[in-house]
Structure 1
Amino acid sequence: MIRPDPALRYERLDALRGAAVVWMAIFHFCFDLDHFGLIAADFKHDPFWTWQRTAIVSLFLFCAGLGQSVALAQGQRWPRFWRRWAQVAGCALLVSAGSWLMFPRSFISFGVLHAMALMLLILRLLAPRLPPAALFGLGLLALAAPLLWQHPVFDSRWTNWVGLVTAKPFTEDYVPLLPWIGVMLWGCALGRWRPALLQGALPAVLAPLAALGRWSLSFYMLHQPLLIGLLMAVTMAA
């Protein structure tokens, strides 16, 4: 069982989150190189890039689900949950504002942080009341839902967060509730079903990843402004 110690870190989970952060940073750096015309890549249609984006988002949400299983097993209280949730939700608002300044026609209204804020609330309410098998089943339904039904009512910017759209919206990042909450539900289900997977020693070579994973939200918020600023300086100096 996971020990009820809220101060205890699970380095395997931190390292997995850190790996997602590194992969994301490399992906975004390539995206920025394309944006500044330093390379030519089709991030919207080339499977090499679209599948990477899907894998990175999936890994982040899966880690978030694992993290919720740990938080619940450790008896995390609502005040502590709300503090972390406010950080995620606040960063989501900053992402929307920043993307609106840079991409006013395709700003991010419901990206990965917006999705994570909503999904964390749903998991906080559902996970303590459902066994792992039920969480897995709900996750499967969530993943299948957009394949089974779509409707134009969900195509507006005010409703596309649900995910049952008939066409993908024109935005820089889009991570709707469906199907993506399915990935987080599966992460939570696995963490509840096999908590021992998160425990145990971590090889020393992976310690930097674990350290990075503990600051994943801060890194997420800072890496793009730094990369974009660096590339702007390079292109202006060239």
Structure 2
Amino acid sequence: FNIILGLAILAIGVSGISTSSPLLLWLLNYNGFSSFDYEPVIPWFGIFALGFGTSALLSRKIRKPRHASQPVFVKPITFLGRNTLLIYLLHQPILFGVLMLLGLI
């Protein structure tokens, strides 16, 4: 289902459909509006849905045992992936301190 949805949303986005309503600015291309940091949800959500659907198909075909042994280097990567908020919150004051020290030099 996600692959079909992704293809449909991607087709809508590529077809050049745009809007003149400011309420739909986040969703479609907006006539007369340009900005470097603006990207509408359509077609990019279509690409996300395609990836989500493809991964679901591939994960069905490639079944691994739930407790398969993993290489040693995977453990730290798993820790980073499971604690991203903590890492994000801790790195901010560390970077700030490093930049302050560099400013003193």
Match in the other structure for 1:169:
35
Q: For residues 110-143 of structure 1, what are the alpha-carbon distances to aligned partners after superposition, in whole Å with 9 as ceiling and x for unaligned?
A: xxxxxxxxxxxxxxxxxxxxxxxx3212212223
Which structure has the higher relative contact order (CA within 8 Å, separation 6+)?
1
Q: Could you tell me how far 1:162 is from its partner in structure 2?
A: 0.7
Is there any run of 5+ residues in structure 1 with no aligned partner, and where? 1-133
The TM-score, its normalising length taken from structure 1, stands at: 0.32
CA contact (8 A) 2:2 2:53 kept: yes
Q: Could you tell me how far 1:219 is from its partner in structure 2?
A: 5.3
Whether 1:214 and 2:79 are equivalent positions in the alignment is no
Helix, strand or coil: the match of 1:233?
Answer: helix
Q: For residues 121-179 of structure 1, what are the alpha-carbon distances to aligned partners after superposition, in whole Å with 9 as ceiling and x for unaligned?
A: xxxxxxxxxxxxx321221222333321243526x5x53321423555354xx564212
Instruction: Find the partner of 1:225 among 80, 86, 92.
Output: 92
Helix, strand or coil: the match of 1:225?
Answer: helix
Helix, strand or coil: the match of 2:103?
Answer: helix
Larger Rg: 2
Q: Could you tell me how far 1:181 is from its partner in structure 2?
A: 1.6
Match in the other structure for 1:83:
none
Give distance in 2, aligned partners of 1:223 and 1:178. 34
CA contact (8 A) 1:191 1:198 kept: no
Whether 1:186 and 2:50 are equivalent positions in the alignment is yes
Q: For residues 172-199 of structure 1, what are the alpha-carbon distances to aligned partners after superposition, in whole Å with 9 as ceiling and x for unaligned?
A: xx56421222233223323432324473
Number of equivalenced pairs = 100
Structure 1 residues 143, 221: CA separation in 2 closer, same or farther (over 3 Å shift)? farther
Quote the sequence identity (%): 20
Helix, strand or coil: the match of 1:203?
Answer: coil
Is there any run of 5+ residues in structure 2 with no aligned partner, and where? none
Structure 1 residues 165, 219: CA separation in 2 closer, same or farther (over 3 Å shift)? farther
Q: Could you tell me how far 1:223 is from its partner in structure 2?
A: 6.8
Q: How does 1:116-131 map to 2 (within 5 A)?
A: none
Structure 1 residues 231, 168: CA separation in 2 closer, same or farther (over 3 Å shift)? farther
The TM-score, its normalising length taken from structure 2, stands at: 0.59
The RMSD of aligned alpha carbons is: 3.5
Give distance in 2, aligned partners of 1:224 and 1:175. 28
Structure 1 residues 181, 199: CA separation in 2 closer, same or farther (over 3 Å shift)? farther
Q: Could you tell me how far 1:227 is from its partner in structure 2?
A: 6.6
Give the number of the structure whose residues are more often helix, by fraction: 1
Structure 1 residues 137, 227: CA separation in 2 closer, same or farther (over 3 Å shift)? farther
Helix, strand or coil: the match of 2:27?
Answer: coil
CA contact (8 A) 1:150 1:165 kept: no
